[in-house]
């Protein structure tokens, strides 16, 4: 399923990292680069690598915060906005394909099960850390 999702994003001209960055920036713009790394779930250097490529492609623009020059702010360009909408259409189409033949009730049950499984793993990880 993950490969099929990646393929759908690539076919639309993007990738999973690009989608995650664009989506995060749409949710909270302009974002601080450090916060963006946390939201996307990658280390700072990994995000910097992606942002460098996205900046060269004209999708994002980075500027220094005028109050604190150590902080980089990241925002979408017009090309980034266009890429976001193109990838959003691909994501929506993929979601439609993925849910074909699955009821809303079944999706809710699956979401509940996955949430419980995630919680179980998180609780076990916390217990192991206290050893």
Query: 86 and 111 share a domain?
Result: no
Verdict on whether the full-model pTM lies above 0.75: yes
- 23 and 64 inside one domain: yes
**95 shares a domain with 38:** yes
Distances (CA, A) of 66 to 55, 63, 72, 86: 20, 9, 10, 32
Are both 96 and 110 inside the same structural domain?
no
What CATH number corresponds to the domain at position 51? 1.10.10.10
Give the range of the structural domain holding residue 106, as residue numbers without chain letter.
Answer: 102-131
53 and 81 together in one domain = yes
Between CA 70 and CA 65 the distance in angstroms is: 7
Give the angle 40-59-69 at the CA atoms, nearest 5°: 70
- Are residues 89 and 110 located together in one domain of the fold? no
Report the pLDDT value the prediction gives residue 57, as an integer from 0 to 100. 96
pLDDT at 70: 74
- CB-based contacts of 94-97 (< 8 A; 24+ apart in sequence): 94/4, 94/5, 94/8
Q: What is the pLDDT along the chain (131 residues), one digit of tens a residue?
A: 999 999 999 999 999 999 999 999 988 765 677 788 888 888 888 888 999 999 999 999 988 877 877 778 888 999 999 999 999 999 999 999 999 999 999 999 999 999 999 999 988 766 666 55
Question: Which pLDDT score is estimated for 36?
Answer: 85
């Amino acid at each position: 399923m993950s490969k099929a999702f990646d393929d759908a994003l690539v076919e639309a001209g993007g990738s999973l990292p690009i989608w995650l960055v664009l989506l995060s920036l749409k949710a909270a713009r302009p974002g601080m680069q450090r916060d963006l790394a946390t939201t996307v779930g990658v280390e700072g250097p990994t995000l910097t690598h992606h942002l460098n490529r996205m900046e060269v492609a004209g999708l994002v623009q980075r500027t220094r915060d005028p109050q604190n020059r150590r902080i980089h702010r990241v925002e979408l360009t017009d090309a980034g906005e266009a890429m976001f909408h193109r990838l959003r259409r691909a994501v929506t189409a993929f979601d439609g394909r993925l849910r074909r033949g699955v009821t809303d009730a079944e999706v809710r049950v699956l979401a509940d099960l996955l949430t419980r499984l995630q919680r179980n793993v998180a609780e076990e990880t916390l217990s192991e850390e206290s050893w």
